[in-house]
């Protein structure tokens, strides 16, 4: 059982939701591990912050190079960061690392970089990576003005690639949002996948607590 977590944009809470999913499945007694195929914005030689959080939420200890095959210093688009580092992101390497993680755990949660169509190299993007991994997607919708369009376009892109949208999470990324309830209702009417949970804005969110807000049983439907 594996899921790819994508978002309507960057900075919408993919890492938080990914960690919450890991906590939730671990609470069911499953062996879980998080994966961040491509990360950008590494500080010095330290592990990328997203990778740190995913490893902390995992109960399977895996090799860092499998959890995070590509990590770049500059916090910019992955393919540009790779170019600056003089490398090219190879999807085959990512898929190989993913298969290795699958052999170690019952559940692998793969967190994407940015949105669903973010370029990874000169010819391939995150959507192609998901297609090659062959796993369903969980969409994190950052609740803010413009999220309706971003969410629905992302859902269309997921469907166009023949990938299954397993569910979506409404994540509060602003202190307040005008007509938030109505926006969520509009998405529920238009997205042909279950709403797994609504996460209210928190200045210091806790993935363990948030896991209790996600209905993972809906992923079984």
C-alpha to C-alpha distance for 194 and 169, rounded to whole angstroms: 9
Identify whether 30 is a catalytic site residue. no
97 within 8 A of 66, measured Cβ to Cβ? yes
C-alpha to C-alpha distance for 198 and 26, rounded to whole angstroms: 20
List CB contacts of 70: < 8 A, sequence separation 6 or more.
37, 38, 39, 78, 82, 87, 89, 94
Alpha-carbon Rg of the chain, whole angstroms?
16
Identified catalytic residue from 14, 30, 36, 52: 36
- Residues β-bridged to residue 33: 108
- Residues β-bridged to residue 170: 141, 198
Closest CA to 98 of 109, 89, 88: 109
Structure tokens at 208: 């363990």
β-pair type (38-40, 70-72):
parallel
Structure tokens at 82: 């790779």
21 within 8 A of 34, measured Cβ to Cβ? no
Structure tokens at 181: 């309830």
Enumerate the active-site residues.
Answer: 36
């Amino acid at each position: 059982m594996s899921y790819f977590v994508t978002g309507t944009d960057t900075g919408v809470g993919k890492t938080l939701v990914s960690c919450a999913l890991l906590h939730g499945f671990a609470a069911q007694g499953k062996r879980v591990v998080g994966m961040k195929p491509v990360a950008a914005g590494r500080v010095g030689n330290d592990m990328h912050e997203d990778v740190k959080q995913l490893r902390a939420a995992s109960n399977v200890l895996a090799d860092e190079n499998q959890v995070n095959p590509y990590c770049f210093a500059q916090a910019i688009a992955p393919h540009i960061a790779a170019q600056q580092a003089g490398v090219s992101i190879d999807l085959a390497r990512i898929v190989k690392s993913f298969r290795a993680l699958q052999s170690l755990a019952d559940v692998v949660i793969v967190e994407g970089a940015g949105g669903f169509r973010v370029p990874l190299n000169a010819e391939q993007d995150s959507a192609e990576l998901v297609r090659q991994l062959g796993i369903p997607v969980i969409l994190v919708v950052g609740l803010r003005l413009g999220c309706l369009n971003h969410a629905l376009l992302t859902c269309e892109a997921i469907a166009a690639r023949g990938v299954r949208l397993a569910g979506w999470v409404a994540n509060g990324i602003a202190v307040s949002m005008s007509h938030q309830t109505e926006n969520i209702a509009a998405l529920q009417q238009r997205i042909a996948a279950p709403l797994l949970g609504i996460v209210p804005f928190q200045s210091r969110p806790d993935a363990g607590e948030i896991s209790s807000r996600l209905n993972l049983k809906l992923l079984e439907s």
